[in-house]
Structure 1
Amino acid sequence: MTNSPPRIAIVWRGDRDARCAATPQNNRFHRIFEELAAVGFAPEPAVFDEELADEVLEQLLAVDAVLVWVNPLDDGKTREILDPLLRQVAKAGRFVSAHPDVILKMGVKEVLYETRHIGWGVDTRLYRTGADFRQTFVPTFLAAGPRVLKQNRGNGGQGIWKVEFTGAPRGGGTLISVLEAKSSSVPETIDLSDFISRCDTYFTEGGCIIDQPFQSRLPEGMIRCYMSGSRVVGFGQQLVKALVTPPSGPGGEPLQPGPRMMHPASAEPFQTLRTRMESEWTPEMMSTLGIEAASLPIIWDADFLYGPPDTAGNDTYVLCEINVSSVFAIPDEAPAEIARAMASRLEQSSKSA
């Protein structure tokens, strides 16, 4: 008699039809299914929707581990039901990645403020209430240069704004130009007071706003550093167009991003960043946020913009976001690293049990 292989549920969002039709082969995570099976696991789909919560909970309580790919915001749906469900599964002794409590520490924009002292940080401010935001975010502050405002939880550029001072028209008020990072956005001129009122919703349910200086090298592209636990497993490089002001006049359509070019962890141009992530910045983040190695997500990424060159002319890197909830697409090497990390985590769990 042989022991059954450990069951690993892979969770993503879909409706009942998608749940009924899902197999390890017919979805975008098929490479992850393949690599998990190759190291001796029995991976299975676990398509989630709020209407299916009881059914999904029953399934997850019957497996050994859970890997989750669900965005915080998706066509108006949130993780309000999913996160308590995952906490219940974890409390029952199942390994869950990423755990909702870990997401709240490192997968929100507030991490930019909490880790601003780390080498990836810049002048970062935090507004916890609308009153604080209205009192502090004043025209004289904007006169020093454009700022980028970010709501605490979101994805796809929602609630991320480039804000620039335009002028003070006759009759009072302060005109600003705002550009949201989500796809197809175009600049809008608006009174500062009206824009601040528009942001009131970002403070609901314990939300906040993070405020950073705009990075002038943004048009040079963004580097996405893919991590499995504390190991770099690849890089993605992309000429992003979010927050890049399109040309004015006729034909000033929203700019479209270039393709994301994937690179292995060994790619030479990124070795300085790799070393800093593995030996300095990730350990410092863990210490600051109180995250143990065993709780780091199986897959996560850190997005960097180029900062000003240092005194020797070398590139510096500015963290603009950490993604934890639903990291995909991923480099070709990442599925095998996910499987390796899962095997290691479950082995550690069995030894400590």
Structure 2
Amino acid sequence: MKKHVVFFEVAGGTDKGPDGYRPDTMPMVESLRKRGWTAEVIFYSDEKKDEIFEHVVRSADAYVSRINPGNLKDESTYFQMIRQLCEFGVKGMPHPDAMINYGAKDALVKLRETPLVPEDTFAYYDIASFKENFPKSLKNGERVLKQNRGSTGEGIWRVQLVSDIGEAEEVPLDAVVRCTEAKDNHVEEHTLENFMTFCEQYITGENGMLVDMRFLPRIKEGEIRLLMLHRTPVNVVHKKPAEDTDAFSATLFSGAKYRYDAPEEWGDLVHSFMASLPTITEKLGGYDLPLIWTADFILDTDEQGRDCYILGEMNCSCVGFTSQLSLSEDIADEIINILSQVEAVEQ
């Protein structure tokens, strides 16, 4: 074992501190160094990808990706490089395909056979299927449409039917719908036809898709984010939306209030999620769990009237922990533990 880890960053972006690094990157580097390992930060660029590849293959046991794909001109080139690194024996944290599979909104559709996701959750990969099926799902109640791209609630819409459509089997195209975007809780009213035409932008282009989920009214009680360090729950962030009537967004930008709890305070949620990890791993490609990742949940009520937790999304691209930098010590321990297990298997 070389006992060397590379952290990938990219220059620029709003996630950098005054020194040009993400605020949570150097603490991990220093924590590894305290344990007798070496670590370095490499700023990725397409122009230097071949040089970077050769250096990392030659020197490192693993890479830790700290790049928000939205800060890259072409994320596919970066993913191609780190996929090759994995093929050449460098441990990916995470593997690029795990990053894609866990981060994509249609992970929910892949998990709808589990208790985590309602069965009436759909994904639209082309405009024709969207136009054919969304009027039918909207007939059954309020829906939430989620684009695959974007962040902080952009392109996530709560859709409510305003018009009375009687016993129609699906919502007619001239019906009026009330649409609230999670980005800032602003409200618009459109005909269904016009709104669906607007949403075509989310389906077109690379990785374009829309996920269609039932709206869960208990989002007003707060979204629950579970922060995971590989297989260990670290903390729970309770994100309560603003009190406005239409507000359902749990982003800070929209006025939501955040509270940090210990995992033990959410025992039922943590227990059920941990029990689901083998299924999640299997359904999302069989890759090792990401190093640092999150799962967001919304409270619902099951048929017996008991609380249950519905998975809203997961993220593992570059989850930050700037409010808890001491976590870098645990992360360094886990990196070493993972690589020690890999070495033991290979011997």
With the length of structure 2 as denominator, give the TM-score of the two structures: 0.83
For residues 156-214 of structure 1, what are the alpha-carbon distances to aligned partners after superposition, in whole Å with 9 as ceiling and x for unaligned? Answer: 22322111112279x971221222222x3511112222222222233333532211111
Say if 1:180 and 1:243, in contact at 8 Å, map to a contact too.
Answer: no
Residue 263, structure 1, aligned to residue 255, structure 2: no
1:163 and 1:243 map into 2 onto residues whose CA distance is 16
| Aligned sequence identity (%) | 26
1:293-312 alignment, distance < 5 Å: 295-308=288-301, 311=304
1:243 and 1:53 map into 2 onto residues whose CA distance is 48
Q: 1:271 Cα deviation (Å)?
A: 1.3
Say if 1:236 and 1:261, in contact at 8 Å, map to a contact too.
Answer: yes
2:11 and 2:53 map into 1 onto residues whose CA distance is 15
Q: Aligned pairs, how many?
A: 330
Instruction: Report the equivalent of 2:223.
Output: 222
Q: 1:272 Cα deviation (Å)?
A: 1.4
Runs of 4+ in 1 over 6 A off after TM superposition: none
CA distance 1:345–1:255, change in 2 (3 Å): closer
For residues 12-40 of structure 1, what are the alpha-carbon distances to aligned partners after superposition, in whole Å with 9 as ceiling and x for unaligned? Answer: 23249x89x657xx833333233322333
For residues 229-254 of structure 1, what are the alpha-carbon distances to aligned partners after superposition, in whole Å with 9 as ceiling and x for unaligned? Answer: 2222222221135997259xxxxxx8
Residue 319, structure 1, aligned to residue 315, structure 2: no
CA distance 1:72–1:151, change in 2 (3 Å): farther
CA distance 1:177–1:93, change in 2 (3 Å): same
CA distance 1:283–1:106, change in 2 (3 Å): same
Residue type at the aligned position of 2:330: E
Instruction: Report the equivalent of 2:328.
Output: 335
For residues 118-156 of structure 1, what are the alpha-carbon distances to aligned partners after superposition, in whole Å with 9 as ceiling and x for unaligned? Answer: 121112112221100001111x54243210111234432
Instruction: Report the equivalent of 1:148.
Output: 144
CA distance 1:127–1:342, change in 2 (3 Å): same
1:75-94 alignment, distance < 5 Å: 77=73, 79-94=75-90
Give the secondary structure class of the aligned counterpart of 1:155: coil
Residue type at the aligned position of 1:191: T
Say if 1:72 and 1:153, in contact at 8 Å, map to a contact too.
Answer: no
Residue type at the aligned position of 1:43: A
CA distance 1:81–1:39, change in 2 (3 Å): same
2:47 and 2:151 map into 1 onto residues whose CA distance is 23
With the length of structure 1 as denominator, give the TM-score of the two structures: 0.82
1:26-65 alignment, distance < 5 Å: 27-50=23-46, 52-54=48-50, 56-61=52-57, 62-65=59-62
Say if 1:299 and 1:324, in contact at 8 Å, map to a contact too.
Answer: yes
Say if 1:228 and 1:299, in contact at 8 Å, map to a contact too.
Answer: yes
Q: RMSD in angstroms over aligned alpha carbons?
A: 3.2
Unpaired stretches in structure 1, ≥5 consecutive residues? 248-253
1:68 and 1:275 map into 2 onto residues whose CA distance is 28
1:73 and 1:180 map into 2 onto residues whose CA distance is 20
Give the secondary structure class of the aligned counterpart of 1:217: helix
Instruction: Report the equivalent of 1:103.
Output: 99
1:52 and 1:146 map into 2 onto residues whose CA distance is 48
Give the secondary structure class of the aligned counterpart of 1:237: strand
Say if 1:235 and 1:262, in contact at 8 Å, map to a contact too.
Answer: yes
2:74 and 2:178 map into 1 onto residues whose CA distance is 29
Say if 1:105 and 1:111, in contact at 8 Å, map to a contact too.
Answer: yes
Say if 1:229 and 1:297, in contact at 8 Å, map to a contact too.
Answer: yes
